[in-house]
Structure 1
Amino acid sequence: MKTRISSFALRQALLVGAVWCTAGLFSSSALAQSFAKGADTGWLQQMEANGYKFYDEQGVEQDCFAILKAKGINSIRLRVWVNPSMVDWVNGHCSPAEVVTMAMRARNMGLRVMIDFHYSDSWADPGQQTKPAAWAQHSFSQLQADVYDHTLSVMTALKANGVTPEWVQVGNEISNGLLWPEGSTANFAQLTQLLNRGYEAVKAVSPTAKVVIHLDKGNDNAPFRSFFDQLTAHGGKYDVIGLSYYPYWLNQDYTASISGLQYNLNDMASRYGKEVVVAEVGGDCANAPQNVYDMLVAVQNAVFAVPEGKGLGVFYWEPEGYRSFSGYQLSAWDNDGKPSPALNAFLATPTTPPPVTPITNLLTNPGFEANGAATQTPSSWTSWANAPANYAADKTETGGQASTYRLTHWLGTAYQASTYQLKTGLPNGTYTLRAWVLNGGGQKACQLYAKNYGGPEKNLALPVTSAWTQIQLPNIEVTNGQCEVGLWSDANAGNWCSLDNVELFAAAVTSSRQRPEDAAVDAAIYPNPTSGMLMLKLPAGPLATTVRIYTATGKLVLTKKLSSASNPRVDVSGLATGSYRVQLERAGQHVTQQFIKQ
């Protein structure tokens, strides 16, 4: 998300990129080589004009593009404004002529080029899509011609100077449309016509360039489905779906939302048959460079893992933007002129996470779709409230995480309510409860819970989040053949939360790599969740066990060899909060279990 740098809102959400990769079936190594690792450098020309210098880690002054290239960056993204201020260094420039100059420079450095049309004189983002001053009084018909002519002019100038962009973004973070009010999402037919005119102008000059449609909050699936369903229904033309991803602006660690990003990437590629790219990403490199490094690796792996090679790459927005110049907290350059070590993440080769064994969801109507309409009595679920009038707090409504409906708790007065499902006939063993949630916050209690399974109730508070976030309760030890799971709210007037795609499943005990003839390693891990030491119960004997810990996206973060006689334990206090998979390997046999790092 972005707004003007001079406003507080801009400092809480800005822009970046798009990406490419040849579609079809490729080898993993070929995909890794074509994977776009990009940087938006719209401020670079202005910074250099203001005397800013760039240095490598050894303090040697170099061209900024050369330093980025040494960090693994192979692509440059450049925003273009229509008639920008030429005196405002931070919120202006990026004129068509300047963009052509920078694109030629990137090409000469062997870097691939992406052009980002804002169709504005300055920042365009979900909070502002202001028409260029010269277009302000134009009719809708003339606006269509404006979009076509401006796009055609810039593309023609680039081609005349030997630059054919691989990707062209038509509009920037257009979750709410562009060129307001005519191109607002409130009138999707007109929005589609404007986007199609941009598409047609790009293809008229550069038929091979891929046209990107770009929205913000890439970890939130529902708005993407809503937008692209409408765009498809109105005949929208595009090649690539672009997503922004900024955990920093979500006020949470990336481990809380990376699964949502992965889900959305996969869903966009399969639902619409399009390639996808994380077109904007960034983190607080000044205060948490290692966390940003880990996040960038995880995001690259998530994009790379999209099936059929449809994940094109990842672009960092304005890494070179000194905070002393831009005031932008998520830049990746220190004020001493040297790049943050977080950028070393682009030197890593993206990898596909290890396959996850499919689960069998034991719940009925887990997505609240069975009734086919909004209801206060969702099929297979039971409601409870502390007063007859408070049953109205419990209902299903549209706006589901990956389909039409979701469960919501809300009432205009204080209430207590729960919605639950009791599963009987369960084999005794260990189970996990998982769900996607939204939560406006403010409740006395708002919890996903499991109880009546033969042990003490387990519950997990829903995080306050406006984007769908997956949470889970592991290690539910069923000893009486049943388990009740549900959502509980003890809320004040106007408090709300939502639940969708709830899963109760038996905990995995073997990895997908285990052969049928292999016997599973007799092992266990505890406590779970843990904040520090993870204890392991290993079988007796002299054989060593190798412990490998993977993040939710498949990044290997810890490896250790243990013997059964060494009181085996692994210190995980240094890991970020989130969900992990621990794999134990002994004599060629494997067991994989999940645990939560608190």
Structure 2
Amino acid sequence: MSGTRKDGRGLSRRTALALGAAGAAGLAVGSATGAEAVDRRPRGGGRPRRGADDGFAAGGDLTMLNWVESCGGRYYDADGRRVDPVKLMAANGMDIARLRVYTATGPDHPRIGHPGSYLPEGFQDEPDMLRTARRVAAAGMRIQLTLHYSDYWSNGLIQDIPKDWRAVTSLPEARAVAALEQHVRDYTHALMRKLEAQGTLPDYVSLGNETAGGILFPYGTTDSDAHWGHFARFVRAGYEAVKAVSPATRVILHLDDAGNMDKYEWFFSTAAAHDAPYDVIGSSYYPFWTRKDIPTVCAFFDELYGRFGKKIMVMETGVNWTPLTHEGVEGQLTDNGPVPYPETPQGQKDFLTDLFAQLKRVAGGAVLGNLYWDPVMIPAPGVGWEVGGPNVVSNTTLFDFQGRALPALAAYRTA
């Protein structure tokens, strides 16, 4: 997720519009069902399916799914039949799942956050990610894995060192950097081996999440040439660990703020100067945060590809299907930005249909795919951006407040 309200706190209220959960419950849904037969052949030999060979990758972030379901969240097709949401999404054309993973795992390794934020034990950690990887692979989906290298959310401003790695902070800087480099290498390699062992190697791996500011603060920041050197060492360690297990897996460096050429020019030029290896540019595109419409952001991707010769994965995209969350308040996105799509179920579908079509037309096949945020975080007791936090994206999902498939799910059939 992008923007200054990423942590879900301090949300404003839209007092001019009195649309609550009860009103949204009556919204009509589309015809997305799981009835269509789709060829979903399993992968063989633990090898990833290469994105370029499989065409445009249209998917979404399914990291929250196990938690939502454990809290009682249930999913239905457009006709009200209870479904496995992964199978339903796959049947409608979603062919790649983004899975995020945090570093802490197990009862002896409690999460720490910024400040004090956390998720329930057993979710969005290594075992949870591996379980979800098996589930999405069984449905025929490719995998995009995001390694946060943190115990909790990381983004352009927050990149906390995992608790288990924090002993390095007592070392002189040079030794601390060397130790963190080894941690990144060992952790990444071990995780890739586990994915290989269960036959779910990812097609794409992102080293960090929205890393314009770097990773593993304060050592790997991008605020000075020296720290850029540290950041590049961490990136190289992760890149080499991924490739040692799966040379076909493409490694992503991911920034927010699609359309900001100054930011991307600075970051990727500096990355090149410091020999930070990567295969794909990752970019978050929300019309609300970026204030860019689809033609503008596609022109940006065209220019970016021409400048750096690297293809692009749109790592995050989201728009509202209704203005307010299930609690009747504004959520993560207070509007849909400068795009001609209203905050309605049909508007959400039209946005995705047009986005997929225009991304696919960027010259040279520059855009590899698009990953939606967050398709599955429907209302369920206890589910929020953290334990005790609100669910600020229930009005951007691909399922309504009762878990019924929205029309936008059918947009994936066109991708």
Q: TM-score range by the shorter chain?
A: 0.7 to 0.9
Aligned counterparts of 1:221 and 1:292: Cα–Cα separation in 2:
27
Partner of residue 167, structure 2: 137
Asked if the contact 1:241–1:274 (Cα under 8 Å) also holds between the matched residues in 2, the reply is: yes
What SS does the aligned partner of 2:409 have? helix
Residue 207 (1) aligns with residue 247 (2): yes
What is the correspondence of 1:89-104 to structure 2 with a 5 Å cutoff?
Answer: 89=119, 93-104=123-134
The change in CA–CA distance for 1:69 and 1:47 in structure 2 (over 3 A counts) is same
Pick from 267, 271, 277: which aligns with 1:227? 267
Aligned counterparts of 2:288 and 2:120: Cα–Cα separation in 1:
22
Cα RMSD of the aligned pairs, angstroms, is 2.5
CA deviations 1:150-185 (Å, max 9, x no partner) are: 111110111111111111111101111111111111
Asked if the contact 2:258–2:284 (Cα under 8 Å) also holds between the matched residues in 1, the reply is: yes
In structure 2, give the amino acid aligned to 1:157. Answer: K
CA deviations 1:354-391 (Å, max 9, x no partner) are: xxxxxxxxxxxxxxxxxxxxxxxxxxxxxxxxxxxxxx
Aligned counterparts of 1:10 and 1:167: Cα–Cα separation in 2:
33
- Provide the identity percentage: 31
Partner of residue 268, structure 1: 304
Asked if the contact 1:57–1:338 (Cα under 8 Å) also holds between the matched residues in 2, the reply is: yes
What SS does the aligned partner of 1:137 have? helix
Aligned counterparts of 1:60 and 1:286: Cα–Cα separation in 2:
23
In structure 2, give the amino acid aligned to 1:300. Answer: F
Aligned counterparts of 1:295 and 1:225: Cα–Cα separation in 2:
28
Aligned counterparts of 2:157 and 2:204: Cα–Cα separation in 1:
24
CA deviations 1:520-558 (Å, max 9, x no partner) are: xxxxxxxxxxxxxxxxxxxxxxxxxxxxxxxxxxxxxxx
Asked if the contact 2:316–2:370 (Cα under 8 Å) also holds between the matched residues in 1, the reply is: yes
State the Cα distance separating 1:235 from its structure 2 match.
Answer: 0.8
Pick from 280, 283, 293: which aligns with 2:349? 293
Residue 218 (1) aligns with residue 258 (2): yes
Asked if the contact 1:71–1:343 (Cα under 8 Å) also holds between the matched residues in 2, the reply is: yes
Residue 328 (1) aligns with residue 392 (2): yes
Choose 197-206 or 278-287, whichever is displaced more.
278-287
State the Cα distance separating 1:88 from its structure 2 match.
Answer: 5.2
What SS does the aligned partner of 1:115 have? strand
Partner of residue 326, structure 2: none
Aligned counterparts of 1:243 and 1:44: Cα–Cα separation in 2:
23
Partner of residue 63, structure 2: 42
User: Which structure is higher in RCO with an 8 Å CA cutoff and minimum separation 6?
Assistant: 2
Partner of residue 571, structure 1: none
Residue 170 (1) aligns with residue 226 (2): no
Asked if the contact 1:20–1:35 (Cα under 8 Å) also holds between the matched residues in 2, the reply is: no
State the Cα distance separating 1:91 from its structure 2 match.
Answer: 9.6
Asked if the contact 1:169–1:214 (Cα under 8 Å) also holds between the matched residues in 2, the reply is: yes
Calculate the TM-score normalised by the size of structure 1.
0.52
Asked if the contact 1:244–1:278 (Cα under 8 Å) also holds between the matched residues in 2, the reply is: yes
CA deviations 1:226-276 (Å, max 9, x no partner) are: 1001001111111100110111234x5xxx532331122112211111111
Q: What stretches of structure 1 of length at least 5 have no aligned partner?
A: 13-18, 24-32, 350-598
Partner of residue 115, structure 1: 145
Equivalent residue pairs, number:
330
What is the correspondence of 1:93-492 to structure 2 with a 5 Å cutoff?
Answer: 93-138=123-168, 139-186=176-223, 187-250=227-290, 252=291, 256-287=292-323, 288=343, 289-324=345-380, 325-326=383-384, 327-329=391-393, 330-349=396-415
Asked if the contact 2:50–2:248 (Cα under 8 Å) also holds between the matched residues in 1, the reply is: no
CA deviations 1:315-364 (Å, max 9, x no partner) are: 10220101453312333321211122223222224xxxxxxxxxxxxxxx
Aligned counterparts of 2:69 and 2:4: Cα–Cα separation in 1:
23
What SS does the aligned partner of 1:52 have? coil
The change in CA–CA distance for 1:105 and 1:228 in structure 2 (over 3 A counts) is same
What SS does the aligned partner of 2:314 have? strand
What SS does the aligned partner of 2:215 have? coil
Aligned counterparts of 1:140 and 1:323: Cα–Cα separation in 2:
42
What is the correspondence of 1:71-86 to structure 2 with a 5 Å cutoff?
Answer: 71-83=92-104
Partner of residue 475, structure 1: none
Asked if the contact 2:73–2:379 (Cα under 8 Å) also holds between the matched residues in 1, the reply is: no
